[in-house]
Each structure stands twice: as structure tokens, then as C-alpha cells.
Chains A and B, each alone.
Chain A
Amino acid sequence: MALPTYDEVVAKWDPVLGLEVHVELNTNSKMFCSCATEFGAAPNTQTCPVCLALPGALPVVNEKAIESTILIGLALNCKIAPYSRFARKNYFYPDMPKNFQISQYDEPICFDGYVDVEIETEEGPKQFRIEIERVHMEEDTGKSLHVGGATGRIHGADYSLLDYNRAGIPLVEIVTKIVPGTGKYAPEVAKAYVAELRDILRGLKVSDVKMEQGSLRCDANVSLKPIGSDVLGTRSETKNVNSLRSVERAIRGEMIRHAELLNDGKKVKQETRHFQEDTGLTRSGRSKEQAEDYRYFPDPDLVPVTPAAAWIEELRATLPERPSLRRKRLKEEWSVPDKEMAAMINADVLDIVEATVLLGADPTKARTWWLGEISRIANEKELPIAELSITPAHVAELVELVAKGELTDKLARQVVEGVVAGEGTPSEVVAKRGIKVVNDDGALMAAIEKVCAEQAETAEKVRGGHLPAAGALIGAVMKETKGQADAARVRELLLGHLGVN
């Protein structure tokens, strides 16, 4: 039977979601030991007896990690447990040298919260409430490199190589309750939820939230039930979903895969699946039944966490503005059209534009630079915009130079190029490259006379009152002065020279 189309799927089936998001905290040191947490360090340079599980080593929890987790819980409208404990999750796998992962089991530190997300639909913006089951603390695992075999994957590998730098980095897991009632919007709601979560976490400054580096990872549970039914279908859990776009694709793909099986009268298997970034499809992993006997028990090496109510209230008072409200506020303050606002959110430049505006730049100008020329360069270099060497301060300076008439838009683009190339601040680039607007009327007149001589016929037309022809001459003068002239001044001088007004 042919694969059903997405429209066919949602006409018959009602998706139910469940999302688990793992966030690496940006603490300086690990969760239970004092090793550094720097991303990309040489293998096994950030390990110690605790995170290598050497005999006798004892874990001590990082107080900043507890604070960050409580902040996350509060930002997600959770209750904070006055008493919670760590538990050992036992499993044998070389990514954890202890043969257990320290996590929280039946006593998570935060529980019962919610996040509201809004998506654009054909019928206008629609809001969905995603309920949060729990937020708990745990530790990340080491990184495995599978050697041998054709694919670099586990199957067919001859052996594996382990780097424990990541083992023990503080990890927070945020688990939703089941999310019903999203219907055909399920993939977009899930994407909007992960995006909102990312923005909230970024606002709290508790994580780098870089999906491409794995500091924010999403596991998506999907099941289908017939529309109108109350009985939940069998779910699959898709791991490896490492971008916002992938969240949407993975859920859409799983909905179609489930529907195909169910339409054929087959059963969905409860299992873990792995998302394939290249094809957008998922591949079967281990089956869930065998894997879930973790024999959790309270970790006897760690003592209960009992945050004082006063401390929780102190933290609550420091919560930043909710990202969704902030977007609404900025949209109004900057009077940005819907489409442009969506473009900024999509391109992930809202923070950077705001920083630029706070430095005094005109909001429209700031937006145009970041969304236009700078985004173009980032795309060309295949880099996230934040990794270019141009900063909000540079753009604010650039906008000012243009406003003062010291640069034309065209020259400013050359300056951007220079800043991105690491030649310094806009003023430094202007000085080094000798970029300046030609305001010297004498030099402009020389260029105008030359152009009028070369294009005598066109000049004659203009002289005869055919003004549209002036454009070609102005263009030629701009070219002659290498874009350094102010076009309005050129026009004025040219028309004066040709005796028309």
C-alpha cells in the first residue's frame, strides 16, 4: 500500500505527543565533581576519579546546577519540591563508567508546570498549553566513537572508543505530560514548544541551548488514535532530533509511518527510533521492553535536596520576561510588520537586533542589516549568525555612520564585509580600506563631465527634459566614483550641469 499523504493521515488519525527535552546546563564545573565542562576539549582531559568512577570517589552536587534547575522549573510554572533526592539508574553501557547514571526518579525537584505556545495557522494564531510533568536533574553520559564497520554506527563496529569529558555534565530533563488535541498542527506545536523552551532557557542564561552541539536535545514520543477515540495508541520514541526543523520533520514522518501500519491493520511497535537527518526518516533502535529495567534506588552517596522556601522566592523574583511576551512587546515598540517579525524569529536574530537597538540604532535599520546583508554572509559561510565576528556594537556604529552621511549603504556593505573578515570595528575598516563618501564636489563634477562626454547622446536627452534618462548617467558616475558618492548629491550636480531642474 502506498504511503498515505499527511492530509490523509490527519483526516483519519489524531496524534498524541509527549516530549522529553534534555538540556545541558552551562555551569563551569560538572554535576557531581569539579571537572571543567568546556565543549570540544581534547578527549579525556576533563575527567577525575568521580566521573571516571574510580573506587572510593564520592559525588558532591554542584549548587549552581540546583539553582539553575529551580529557575527552569519556576520559568515553566512548576511547583518546586521542598524535598527531593537523587536516584541511581542502573544500566550497563560504557558511556557511563559507574554502570549507573545519577538521576532523579520518583522525587523530581520540579513538577506540574506548563508552557503556552502560539503557532500561526490558516485561521490565525492559535494557542496551545503544553503541560509539564516534571523537571529533574541528572548527569550527561560520555561520548562513544564506533570504530570499524562501514557506517560508523554501532552495528558492525569492531570496538568503541570512549571520551568521558561529557560524562557528568549537569543535565536537566524536562518531560511533558501527554499532549492531546493538536490534530494536524502536532508537528508545528512540537517545534514551537521546543523553540519556546529554548528561548526561555536562553533568557534564564542557564544553558548554551545549542541544538547543533547537543546542549539541547529532544526525544519525541508520538502515537495515533482514531479521531474521536479515547484509547491511546502505541507510541514510538524518536531520539537524535537535533534541530527545530527536525522536531517538525520527525513527528510528521512518524505520524505517516504509524498511519501506514495502522491503515494496513498492522501494529505499531513500542520502540526507540533514531532520526536520520539526511532522509528525515527514522530507523528502529533497541526495543523499549528490554531496556526499561533500571532498578532505580535512592543514591546513598548523596543527601536530599531541600531548598528553602525563601530562596525559591528569591529566585522567582529574578525571572526574566517571558519570551512570548517579550516578542509581543518588541513587535509593538519597533512597529514591525507580522511577516518581518516572523522572519526575525525564524532567522533567530531577535536578541541580536534588540542588543543593536539598545545601543542606539534605529530598529528598522538594525533589523535590515541583520536580516539582509549579514544573514546573507552567514548563509554563504554556512555559519550561525552569532558566530560571525560582527557584533551589535559594530552594527550600531555602522547605522550611525550611514545616518551621519559618512557612508552610503553601498559603502556600508563593504564595511560589513571588512568587519566580518576580522579587520576591526567599522571605523577601523573605514580607515584601513580608505572608504569614504566622495563629498568633494570638484571630484564629482570631474566624473560627471567625463560621463556626459562619454554618453553625449544620453546627456542630450536629459538636457532636452527627458529626466528618466538621468538614471543611467547617475549610475555611471557612481561607478566612476566606486560607489563612494552620495547618489542624491550626484543627481543634484548632474541636473545642474545639464541645466535642468
Chain B
Amino acid sequence: MSSLSRDDVAKLAGLARIEMTEAELVELSSQFGMILDAVARVQEMDLSGVKATSHPQPLENIARPDVVQPSLSPEDALSGAPAQEESRFRVPQILGEAE
């Protein structure tokens, strides 16, 4: 059976910016194990010659011409913003990241 350690789950939660309690971390680590096992059954099949897929439809080369269409007005663009200033989205201070 696959397993994910409590620390693995804590790291994933951190990367996804999800706050979790200690109890949730422990509970999820066993649940993740079961999920991984379920998905791992795919490996039991003979997949030689089957291309990895990332889209449900067998489509390729869907593109659009390089033509400009009207954008939203800045008022509309900002209408859902929790805070704004000078026609810009205002976000809390960003620490410990790149400049």
C-alpha cells in the first residue's frame, strides 16, 4: 500500500496555501495513500504504445488568429477586487518572495 507521510501532506498543504490542523494532516496522509493506490491500478494494465494524454479530446493545434478583441473596462476588471487603488488591484504586502 502506498503511503504519504504526515510531513509530505504538510508540505503539500503549504505549497497549496491550505491551512490544516494536526488531526487533518494525519487523517489525510492515510487517505492520500488510498487515493494513490486506486490510481496505481492503471499501472497494472498493458500501456505500451499508449501515449500519455492531458486532454479528454484527441485534439491538436487549436489556435486563434492574432487579432485584438476589446478588453474589459478597468472598472469592470476591478469590480470584483476586494481592494483597489489607482486603477490597480491592491493586495496585502508580499514578504519573503522575489521582487
A146 to chain B, nearest CB (A): 8
- Counting CB contacts under 8 A, is B48 at the interface? no
**Could you tell me the dominant secondary structure of chain B's interface residues?**
loop
Residues 46-99 (chain B) with a chain A CB within 8 angstroms = 54-55, 57, 59-69, 71-74, 77-78, 80, 85-99
Contacts A154-B99, A274-B99, A295-B15 given; does A43 touch B86 at CB 8 Å? yes
Partner of B66, one of A27, A44, A274: A27
Check B71–A161 contact: CB distance below 8 A: no
**Residues of B contacting A286 in the complex (Cβ-Cβ under 8 angstroms):** 96-98
- Counting CB contacts under 8 A, is B17 at the interface? yes
Partner of B60, one of A44, A94, A157, A303: A303
Contacts A29-B69, A274-B99 given; does A52 touch B77 at CB 8 Å? yes
**Could you tell me the dominant secondary structure of chain A's interface residues?**
loop
Check B87–A42 contact: CB distance below 8 A: yes
Partner of A157, one of B86, B87, B89, B93: B93
A-B contact count (CB 8 A): 142
- Counting CB contacts under 8 A, is A93 at the interface? yes
Q: How large is the interface on B (under 10, 10 to 19, 20 to 34, 35 or more residues)?
A: 35 or more
Number of interface residues of A (CB under 8 A): 62
**Residues of B contacting A28 in the complex (Cβ-Cβ under 8 angstroms):** 66-68
Check B62–A303 contact: CB distance below 8 A: yes
B13 to chain A, nearest CB (A): 13
**Residues of A contacting B94 in the complex (Cβ-Cβ under 8 angstroms):** 93-94, 144, 154, 157, 160
Residues 282-308 (chain A) with a chain B CB within 8 angstroms = 285-286, 291, 293, 295, 297-300, 302-307
Check B15–A293 contact: CB distance below 8 A: yes
- Counting CB contacts under 8 A, is A445 at the interface? no
**Residues of B contacting A285 in the complex (Cβ-Cβ under 8 angstroms):** 98-99
B8 to chain A, nearest CB (A): 12
Separation of A434 and B20 alpha carbons in the complex (Å)? 81
Check B91–A85 contact: CB distance below 8 A: no
Would you give 23 A-B contacts (Cβ < 8 Å), ordered by A?
A36-B71, A43-B88, A44-B77, A60-B63, A61-B64, A63-B63, A64-B65, A90-B15, A92-B17, A93-B98, A154-B94, A154-B99, A157-B93, A159-B93, A161-B91, A293-B15, A295-B15, A300-B55, A303-B55, A304-B55, A304-B61, A306-B61, A307-B61
